[in-house]
Structure 1
Amino acid sequence: MQIFNYHPVTGEYLGNGIARPDPLEEGRFLIPAHATEVAPPEAGERQASVWADQAWSLMEDHRGEIYYSTVTGEPVVIEYLGDVPKELTGIAPGDFQIWDAEAETWADDLQALNFLHASALRTERDRRVREVYDAAVMQLLRERRKAVAMAGDVAIVDALIADWDAYVDALCSLPDQPGFPWQGPDDLVVPWPEPPATKTA
């Protein structure tokens, strides 16, 4: 007689076999534990036949599939039979996205994106101050000292230093401008100030 084996814990159908005849009673067969003579239903895609309460049923089987937590966005590998929990989704999140429960999809986390763009813009601003402004003003101060030592005119140099001071003031005031932080430092609408010329003659 054919029998059908199932997992002792999950009840999942494992395969069939042949029951041994009962040596003490002719026409009777020995059915081992975790087996039944009832045939399981045919499982479809992402399904498993499960024995429970003395009957077979079909359960969803997503084991090995990757879903994503709608709370953290972290990937989760399904390791059990049954429905996928509501707090998981098969849609992978993008960078800086949060779950929109109403739309049932991921949406941009505007707060996180604004923080990212603001941080990147400030980093670029500070780079311009350090690499452009500082170098130019140091050069002008050297020229001013040289002009003073030679009793020359320092008015042009002082005017250029004032231009550079205005430039760095404009850089530092970017966070106060409407639209800050835009879409980060590479956004074409960022009102980056133009550095003044450094030539004194």
Structure 2
Amino acid sequence: MIIGFYLIIILILGYLSVYLRERYLDLKWLRPLTWLGIFLHEFWHAFFCLLTGGRVTGFRVTARAGQVTHYKPTLPIVGPMLTAIGPLVGGLFIIGLINNFWLQDILVITSGNFWLTFLNFIRSFNFLTWQTWLLLAICLNVGVMVGPSLADLKSIWPLVILSFLITSWQVAQILALVIAMVTLNIVLFLIILIIKTMIRKL
């Protein structure tokens, strides 16, 4: 499976999720629920910047947005790209840890087909368990956690091109799961937006 196709879909869906939240869903009750995703997004930018020899000069996270200011990493070419794509790599790591330790492996990777993965993902929900509610909370954050900004997209396009030369069934399965989670994130945001619009019309 060509990794580039999966990566393009994740970047598009992640950007759409960030756009929806920032443009239409600046709701007081939703801000605390998505703060963690914003924090982790900026944390991984800072982490990979430091890892590649850069120096972080500012780290700011609010319930609405976040920002990391830093000097250019000393590792040429690769440093800026890793710093830009850090939230996606770190997001995968965090999701894997949570799935292993707290969700009792509720996230089962069975296919590289992201539509089948999405359907299996939804079928795994049991609303009588706290794990499902934790998973929904994660899904509210996953879009902003892995979603790129325009500045990120400008830095990672060489990696995206290179990813079309990589084929890996195992990586494709993991990325299919991320696509399923970000898709659910967007669905949840759209449901919230519809409810918000209906309430305003009352």
* Smaller-chain TM-score bracket: under 0.3
More helix by share: 2
When normalised by structure 2's length, the TM-score is: 0.21
Q: TM (normalized to structure 1)?
A: 0.21
> Which of 1 and 2 has higher RCO (CA within 8 Å, sep 6+)?
2
Higher CA-based Rg: 1
Which structure has more strand as a fraction of its residues?
A: 1
